[in-house]
Amino acid sequence: MLLIRAIVRPEKKDEVLAGLSSAGFNAATMVDVVGRGKQKGIKIGGMVYDEIPKTLILMVIPEDAKDKVIQMILSIAKTGNEGTFGDGKIFVSPVDEVYTISKGTPGL
Amino acid sequence: MKEIMAIVRMKKTGATKKALIAAGVAGFTAVKVLGRGNLVTDPGAIEECKEKLLSMGLDEFTEAGDTEKLVTSFLDGSRFFPRRLFTILAHDDDVPRIIGAITSANRTEYGIGDGTIFVMPVADAVRVRTGEAGEAAIW
């Protein structure tokens, strides 16, 4: 099992989640977050905005689905052909165990 | 050292906190999140749930069509529901006990939507107050 943490633009989240749902990955959790990246925020005039709103999508998926999910998020969350600063990031971390509370058994 | 991420119903926040104290774990972090789960494949469970929700939603002010539309959108799996995400850091030995406590506090008769628990490895932890690292920083 792998935990996918994807930070995407808030205006792209519906599109990303709809795409993942149609590919069979319906389960997801999302949180509104603020953050900045390598570019140290956005500078507009004299003001620097370093708390840019983003949406954090959390998903736990089987290991063999990793490439599919990542490619899907990458292709949908990108803006323009080349991509733009601020499109977000994807982090992947291992998950040892998963339990579904309503069933009370291990597994997704 | 493990990180336990538990997604539970908003209503069960208090019960989960009590269960964690009973299991000997006081520290946790909680965030309000929106989430949805796997699609329910059993049509019987959906039908039963739909009847229950329809009977709750009907009164003299709402039209039957509106209620049905709303209830259907609740059950088709595409809607996000508010949930509470607990993050708990634990020693390896305590993980089964904590999972048991969260599971028994959060199970309901509905059979769906009670949440999920994820257990992940943690590379290191540091307590800011004392600077101690590793297992000593957990509790």
pLDDT score at A108: 79
**pLDDT per position as a tens digit, B25-76:** 878 999 999 998 888 777 777 788 788 878 877 777 777 777 778 787 777 7
Phi, then psi, of A76 in degrees rounded to 5: -85, -40
**pLDDT per position as a tens digit, A27-49:** 999 999 999 988 888 889 889 89
pLDDT score at A58: 94
Chain-centroid distance, C-alpha B4: 12
Residue A33 contacts B where some CB pair is shorter than 8 Å: no
Residues of chain B with CATH 3.30.70.120: 1-36+82-139
Residue A91 contacts B where some CB pair is shorter than 8 Å: no
The domain defined by A2-106 folds into Alpha-Beta Plaits (3.30.70)
Token representation of residue A88 = 């977000």
List the single range of A42-51, A58-67, A91-100, B55-64 with lowest mean pLDDT.
B55-64
Pick the residue of A4, A21, A99, A105 with the most B CBs within 10 A to test the interface with B by mutation: A99
pLDDT band at B77 (very low <50, low <70, confident <90, very high): confident
The domain defined by B1-36+82-139 folds into Alpha-Beta Plaits (3.30.70)
ipTM of the complex: 0.80
Closest by Cα among B76, B99, B91, B85 to B31: B85
> Residue A29: which of B35, B38, B99 has the nearest Cβ?
B35
Alpha-carbon dihedral sign for residues B107, B112, B113, B116: positive
CB contact under 8 A, B35 and A26: no
CB atoms within 10 A of CB A20: 23
pLDDT higher than threshold 90 for residue A10 = yes
pLDDT score at B70: 79
Residues of A with CB below 8 A from B102's CB? 101
CB contact under 8 A, A101 and B114: yes
| Residues whose CB is less than 8 angstroms from the CB of residue B89 and which lie 6 or more positions away in sequence, other chains included | B1, B2, B3, B4, B27, B122, B125, B138
pTM value is 0.84
CB contact under 8 A, B118 and A98: yes
